[in-house]
Amino acid sequence: MRTSSRRTAGFVVALVTLLFLAVSANPAAACSGHCYGRVHWPSPNAPQNHGAYTVINVHCLKVNNTSYFATDELWVADSTGSYWTEEGMAYGAPRTDRYWFWADQRPGHPYSEHDRPDLPHALDTDYSATIEYAGTDGNWNVYQNDGTPIGTSTSNFSPPSGWLDAGSESTAATQHVDAKVKSLLWKGTNDAWNTGWGGLYPSTLQSQDGYTTTWITQYQSAHITANTGGC
């Protein structure tokens, strides 16, 4: 949600570097840089795709110091994890409250974030997030709530995507998160939607630095928590 402080460096390093992946984990350490609790489906395990969908439901999302942030969101990236489009709910930097956003990292362009506090972002409410190939090379459309267009990432990576993630990211020493990513779908290169992030090489769960990530329904919905006592 903010140039280098949110994802320009943190997302790429975390995605490309080998990270601890488990069905459920609960490390005690605070975030060092960027940390994640999410459903993780990187290349080469993820199928080639034209986008992804999830339903975001946030019960708690907060940081004690709003120089930092925490999110619950969806990512669609190229097979290297270098370029991506993302969408979801956030709390903290560069704002001081909770809000909806979308952002991208494109070839030859700096990280760009589009904060949308005007869009719905209530707690304990289902909001769908969709990112899908727009039909023109390098363009990816972003939707909230089953078809409401909120932006287009232009001149981004050419399809297909080869990397999908859904869940929470934070830079805070103490983040307070209780959130879900549900009804996970991915869109094939034939533009047909597929249920669940499973298959021969399915997605896994990632938990870092205070996060706990567990399946609600395997390969379909997950629950992410971190330091929930502050909510």
Single out the residue of 145, 140, 107 nearest to residue 128, CA to CA. 145
Handedness of CA 78, 84, 85, 89 (dihedral sign): positive
30-44, 124-138, 205-219: lowest mean pLDDT where? 30-44
Question: Is residue 7's pLDDT more than 60?
Answer: no
Domain count, the chain: 1
The per-residue pLDDT for range 115-167, each reduced to its tens digit, is 999 999 999 999 999 999 999 989 999 999 988 999 999 999 999 999 999 99
Residue 214 belongs to a domain with what CATH number?
A: 2.60.120.1270
Domain with 219 in it: 3-230
Burial class (CB in 10 A: 0-12, 13-18, 19+), 46: buried
Per this entry, what is the length of the chain? 231
Q: Which residues contact 221 (CB under 8 A, 6 or more apart)?
A: 180, 181, 182, 183, 184, 215
pLDDT band (50, 70, 90) for residue 33: confident
Distance CA 109, CA 107 (A): 6
Can you tell me the distance from the alpha carbon of 146 to that of 128, in angstroms, rounded to the nearest whole number? Answer: 6
User: What is the reported pLDDT for 5?
Assistant: 40
Residues 115 and 44: their CA atoms lie apart, in Å, by 31
Q: What is the largest CA-CA distance in the chain?
A: 46
* pLDDT, average across residues 30-50: 93
